[in-house]
Amino acid sequence: MSLPLQGMSALVTGAGRGLGRAEALELARLGAAVVVNDYGQPGRDGSGSASAGPAEQVAAEIRAAGGTALAHTGDVSDFAQAREMVESVIAEYGRLDILVNNAGILRDRMVFSMTEDEWDSVIRVHLKGHFNTTRFAAAHWRERSKATGAPVYGRIVNTSSEAFLAGSAGQPNYAAAKGGIVGLTTSTALALARYGVTANVICPRARTRMTEDVFAGLARPADGGLDPLAPEHVAPLVGYLASPAASRINGQLLVVHGGMVAVVERPRVRAKFDSKQETFSHDELDALLTPHYAERPAGETFGAAEVLRLGREQP
């Protein structure tokens, strides 16, 4: 039986645990050869002897299931290491077909308490990390397309968050980085469409090591069933977006968790006001905007808080 990703190669960042691990396993299950990236060095087992790090453990899991995988421990936030990461996939498998950007960290704090390093580190790993790998993958696809004079196969799946969509008071750095990733994705989608490449972004909700404090108050199923916050609910959508079946999906944002996928509409203009003079005066703006916002719900912002209430409808 032919698998949808048979013969393709993929790079998944932050794939040693949690969401990235589930995504790497799913891509391999669908037939892709996977480079599993997770920053760090091999750890130590209980005896003090060297042991395989998370990336190698996931790669070994894929190989044990009959798939093809290699581990990579480079830092996505380092421009040169990201280039080497992409080049390692091309050197090993001949080309890169799928890029899944998942690597990230949290440094949560209210904006009035946040340190410069807490801001910079989150922006660097999430936003710059997404750019770094995208930059070199995009160059690879453009060069291949120009060499043949025809479109190539390329898929980018980026990772944003509901923290960007709804706003998250204690995560100004994370929300900003995730919003930037959406802008990066839509720009990339337009730039690479001519070469046959699509770029989409997901907002997953999952219980992982990074989010264990965020979801600490939500209990796991008492009957031992699949946790609604399990990363396994997210991975199938990533596999689908990476596949030929999703060729018409480009520059889109989808929320996914707990057996549910929601397609998020682009922003629309709510109201438009024109100045009666060459430019607005304070009084004219007061006469137009003040009553407009007086009729809007108190506390409403540009953030779409309703996404936090989305969930799978039980059959």
* 206's tokens: 């999952």
- Tell me the sheet residues that pair with 260: 257
Whether the Cβ atoms of residue 241 and residue 249 lie closer than 8 Å to each other? yes
* 175's tokens: 């929300």
Q: What letters, b where the CB count within 10 A reaches 16 and e where it falls short, cover 196-224?
A: bbbbbbbbbbbbbeebeebeeeeeeeeee
* Alpha-carbon distances, residue 90 vs 9, 19, 98, 140, 178 (angstroms): 9, 24, 11, 9, 28
Catalytic residue positions, numbered: 161, 174, 178
CA–CA dist 239, 235 (Å, integer): 6
